[in-house]
Amino acid sequence: MAGGPKLFVGLGNPGPSYARHRHNIGFMAMDSVAWRHRMAPWRRKFQGELTEGDLGPVRALLLKPMTFMNLSGQSVGEAMRFFKIPLADIVVFHDELDLVPGKVRVKQGGGVAGHNGLKSLAAHLGSPDFKRVRLGIGHPGHKDRVIGHVLSDFHKADADWLEPLLDGLAESAPLLARGDDAGFMNRVALAMQTASKDG
C-alpha cells in the first residue's frame, strides 16, 4: 500500500439540533463514506469522532471535529500531528454557498472566503493549502440571509439531490483518496445525472 493514510475531514457542528443543517453537509458526507465502506465504529478522539478503513488500496482516516465549526482546526491539527499526516494528504469536505445545490468541486488551497471552519483549519494547520471538496448548498440571495441559510435544516425537497449526492460521494471516495480529483468529480456528477433521470 503506497504512502501513509489520507485524512478526510468533514466540517459541521455537533449535536442533534445541528444534524440536518446545511452547514453540516461535511459531517453527512463522512457518515456516508464510513457506512458505504464498512469502516470501524466512530470513536471519540482528537476532540472529534474518528473512524478508519480502506478506500480501495488507500488507508483513510475520517474525522468529524466536535469542537463546533469555528474551532475545527483544533481537532484536525491534533490528528494531523499525531498521525504525522502531511498537509497534501488532508482533504476537507465543507458546505459552499457559491455553488448551486448538489454541485461538487475539488480545489487545492486558496482563500477561506469567510468560512469560519476553513479559517480555523488554515490557522491550526499553518497553511490554507489543504485540499477542499466544496459541496454546493446554494446562496440565499443576500448576505444578510447567509447565517440563517447555513444554520437551518435542508428542506424535504432537497432530498432529491442531497441523497444522490451523498451516495455519489461515498461511492467515488476511493478515486479522491488516490488523487484522481477529476475522476471523482465526474463520477459524482454522473451519479447525480442518473438519479435525476431515475427520479
Q: What is the pLDDT of residue 87?
A: 95
Question: Are residues 102 and 92 in contact, defined by beta-carbon separation less than 8 angstroms?
Answer: no
Mean pLDDT, the chain cut into blocks of 10 residues (199 residues total)? 83 96 97 97 97 96 97 97 96 95 94 88 94 96 92 94 96 96 96 79
φ and ψ at residue 119, rounded to 5 degrees: -60, -45
Burial pattern 78-96, b for ≥16 Cβ within 10 A else e, equals bbbeeeebeeebbbbbbbb
Residue 23 designated active-site: yes
Q: Which domains does the chain have, with CATH numbers?
A: 6-198 (3.40.50.1470)
What is the pTM assigned to this prediction? 0.95
CA dihedral 177, 64, 132, 76 (to 10 degrees): -100
Question: How many C-beta atoms lie closer than 10 Å to residue 182's C-beta?
Answer: 9
Active-site hit among 21, 23, 37, 149: 23
Q: What is the pLDDT of residue 1?
A: 40
Q: What is the pLDDT of residue 199?
A: 59
The DSSP bridge pattern shows strands 90-96 and 58-65 to be: unpaired
Please report where in the chains the cell 501513509 appears, as a residue.
Answer: 4
